[in-house]
Amino acid sequence: MGGMYVADDLEQMGPIDYLVVEFPGSRMAGEGLPLLVDLVDRGIIRILDFVFVKKELDGSVRGVEIADLDHDGRLDLAVFEGASSGLLDEDDLKDASGVLEPGSSASILVYENVWAAPLATALRRGGAQLVAGGRIPVQAILAALDAAEARAASGAAS
């Protein structure tokens, strides 16, 4: 799932994103993993790096081998073994762990949005470049919708 890229490959790549997903108390159910595999299988994303870290109670951070992290015998992460492009280094892992609570684990996923590669390639060929990007957390969307609903309700009551 990972690997090295040559210049032609890079020219054809879609946007690259990353996620840091915390598992409080290091409890990981694994419900999302089949969905992640499905995204890869359908060619929607390509995993460049996928690592797990644990932040100990003393604040130290260590890598966790991809294995049966929940030790219940059901979760198989072997499909993700070797997903390493070399983009992530120790400093990246340390930075990512800065947002974690002590005693928690996290997965760090770096992936290419393969679905967007043709658009990104066409834009680059035309001289365009991405100058800003971002993500709006679902919680922020829900809060904004609740606020809009409250404003509408108070306006209707007037």
Burial class (CB in 10 A: 0-12, 13-18, 19+), 61: middle
Whole-prediction pTM:
0.74
pLDDT at 2: 45
- Give residue for tokens 């800003």: 132
CB atoms inside a 10 Å sphere around CB 42: 10
CB atoms inside a 10 Å sphere around CB 36: 18
pLDDT at 122: 93
pLDDT tens by residue, 96-117: 888 899 999 888 999 999 999 9
Give the DSSP H/E element, type plus range, for residue 7: helix 7-11
Q: C-alpha angle 35/38/39, rounded to 5°? A: 90
pLDDT tens by residue, 51-100: 888 888 998 888 876 654 545 555 556 666 667 777 888 888 888 888 89
Confidence of residue 146 (pLDDT cuts 50, 70, 90): very high
